Amino acid sequence: MRISFSAVIALFALALGALAPAAATAQVNRPAARISEIAPNPLVLGTTRISFVVPSAGEYNLKIFTVSGSFVASVLESEAAGGGEFTTAWDGRAADGTPVANGIYFCRLQFGRIIQAMPVVVMR
């Protein structure tokens, strides 16, 4: 049986809780919280920029996980910040400061009950 790459990514995203129930993600007259871009991707040297949108004021965070769901690093923690478009960076390091191994990771944005993940590849 063949499985497409997009199906594999969807399964990993589901395992990370990236696919929340429709009721939890419904937004009325507002865009949902989302990661809009990770660039460069793959991360080869330096840092990668992570652009994301949150629809309104509230707590949000960006974290990096392995494909198996293990925590790698916290990129950004916010306390009741306003909504809008934001950009931050990840340097390809784990929480302890060591460079992560080559591979596929997931950047996960959590805004209240809304969770979205996007893959980021590290190739050094």
Per the structure, the count of domains in the chain is 1
Percent of the chain with pLDDT strictly greater than 90: 58
Pseudo-torsion of CA 88, 35, 4, 93, nearest 10°?
20
- The label of the residue with tokens 């910040």 reads 81
Pseudo-torsion of CA 77, 9, 50, 100, nearest 10°?
80
The answer to whether the predicted template modeling score (pTM) of the entire model surpasses 0.85 is: no
Domain that holds residue 39: 5-122
The beta-strand segments (E) located in 1-124 are 34-39, 48-54, 60-66, 71-77, 84-90, 103-111, 114-122
- Work out the number of other CB atoms within 10 angstroms of the CB of residue 28: 4
What parts of the chain have a pLDDT lower than 50?
A: 1, 3, 7-8, 11, 15, 18-29
CATH of the domain at 24: 2.60.40.4070
pLDDT tens for residues 5-41? 554 455 455 545 544 444 344 444 455 899 999 999 9
